[in-house]
């Protein structure tokens, strides 16, 4: 049995540098990492974030706090990150380009560093037409690649885009996203390569329901040597209901759900869809663990975070909080 099947992956050779976070330290040690997602509420209330953080605390190495995902107004990511930290969960602060110009984006990056948020995930963001304010004006002053390059410039050159010096300069573990299933498929690895060249150190992918296509994507990633320069976290998630299935297929930008998955979920009684969705997710995690170059998994269970511990258990991934106390206490 391969090391990856046992949850140990060979760390990328070119990604060693002083770790800014627990997540980075785990990845550099070569242990199969687990991240999850915390969606902030649509109101002025942090209790839902506290509940989700407590639920995930002993199961994940870090948790993304999303930034008004799907162009829907929610509590800001930085606020959710602070609450997650209070509950003992290392956050990954998402920052997207849709709503802010380069001044505000750099300000948010500085704020993350100043408040001790060690990981940032930088993305372009969904267009407002997909959200609850379809008439809102999109900014998109920068795209994700430019924002990643900006963050790297601020950290390593200690300068703003204006050329002004930063004292002190910020530190973050810089992340990106990629969709292995968006056409044209043959260029997805090259697109990831541009983000890595800009400064991405880890990457979380779109939901994976088509493992063969993802396997081909990873073959291309390895052919380009990108797995030696960036940690790839394969995105997965459970489907809770047939309604959720149709939403993901028809309304979530960039989502691909193969026909065989649709048939599998439609082939069970309605009251068994959630259980089948959890089983499918755990099976996919088990499969991606064996793919060379995959450094971890990113579990997305919108409004169903309660399912994550059982999914991870079924996939043979242990509780993380109890396994490496020294790493967590060193932050």
Binned at pLDDT 50, 70 and 90, residue 322 comes out as very low
Three-state secondary structure call for residue 207: strand
Mean pLDDT value of segment 291-318: 95
* 209 pLDDT higher than 50: yes
pLDDT tens sequence across 94-112: 999 999 999 999 999 999 9
Per-residue confidence (pLDDT) for residue 321, from 0 to 100: 54
* CA-based nearest residue to 239, from 294, 302, 288: 302
Asked, for residue 48, whether it belongs to a domain, the answer is yes
Asked, for residue 58, whether it belongs to a domain, the answer is yes
- Answer whether 0.85 is exceeded by the pTM: yes
Question: 129-133, 137-141, 185-189: lowest mean pLDDT where?
Answer: 129-133
* CA-based nearest residue to 207, from 231, 233, 237, 178: 237
Asked, for residue 331, whether it belongs to a domain, the answer is no
Asked, for residue 20, whether it belongs to a domain, the answer is yes
Domain extent for 20: 4-326
What tokens were used for 289? 């663990």
Residues across the chain:
331
Per-residue confidence (pLDDT) for residue 222, from 0 to 100: 98
Beta-carbon contacts of residue 175 (< 8 Å; ≥ 6 apart): 92, 119, 120, 121, 122, 200, 201, 202, 203, 204
What does the alpha-carbon distance between residue 320 and residue 56 come to, in Å, rounded to a whole number?
A: 10
- Number of separate domains in the chain: 1
Cβ atoms of residues 38 and 64 within 8 Å: yes
Question: 188-202, 218-232, 317-331: lowest mean pLDDT where?
Answer: 317-331
Beta-carbon contacts of residue 22 (< 8 Å; ≥ 6 apart): 61, 62, 90, 118, 327, 328, 330, 331
Crossing angle of helices 144-152/188-198, nearest 10°? 30
Asked, for residue 137, whether it belongs to a domain, the answer is yes
- Partners of 233 in beta bridges: 204, 296
What tokens were used for 183? 């056409």
Q: Which CATH number goes with the domain that contains 66?
A: 3.20.20.220
């Amino acid at each position: 049995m391969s090391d990856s099947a046992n949850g140990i992956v060979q760390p990328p050779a070119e990604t060693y540098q002083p770790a800014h976070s627990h997540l980075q330290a785990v990845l550099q040690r070569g242990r199969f990492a687990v991240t999850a997602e915390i969606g902030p509420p649509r109101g002025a209330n942090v209790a839902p974030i506290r509940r989700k953080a407590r639920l995930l605390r002993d199961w994940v190495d870090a948790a993304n706090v999303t930034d008004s995902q799907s162009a829907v107004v929610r509590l800001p990511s930085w606020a959710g990150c602070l609450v997650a930290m209070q509950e003992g969960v290392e956050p990954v602060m998402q920052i997207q380009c849709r709503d802010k110009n380069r001044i505000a984006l750099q300000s948010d990056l500085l704020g993350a560093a100043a408040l001790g948020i060690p990981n940032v995930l930088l993305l372009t963001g969904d267009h407002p037409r997909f959200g609850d304010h379809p008439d809102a004006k999109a900014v998109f002053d920068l795209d994700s690649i430019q924002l990643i390059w900006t963050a790297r410039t601020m950290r390593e050159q200690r300068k703003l885009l204006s050329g002004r010096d930063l004292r002190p300069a910020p530190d973050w573990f810089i992340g990106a996203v990629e969709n292995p299933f968006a056409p044209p498929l043959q260029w997805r690895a090259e697109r990831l390569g541009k983000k890595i060249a800009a400064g991405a150190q880890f990457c979380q992918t779109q939901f994976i329901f088509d493992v063969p296509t993802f396997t081909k994507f990873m073959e291309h990633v390895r052919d380009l040597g990108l797995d030696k320069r960036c940690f790839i976290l394969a995105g997965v998630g459970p489907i809770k209901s047939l309604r959720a299935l149709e939403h993901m297929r028809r309304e979530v930008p960039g989502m691909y759900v193969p026909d065989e998955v649709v048939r599998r979920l439609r082939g069970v009684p309605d009251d068994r869809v959630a259980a089948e969705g959890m089983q499918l997710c755990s099976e996919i995690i088990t499969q991606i663990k064996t793919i060379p170059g995959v450094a971890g998994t990113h579990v997305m269970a919108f409004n169903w975070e309660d399912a994550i511990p059982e999914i991870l258990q079924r996939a043979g991934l242990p509780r993380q909080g109890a396994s490496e106390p020294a790493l967590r206490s060193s932050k």
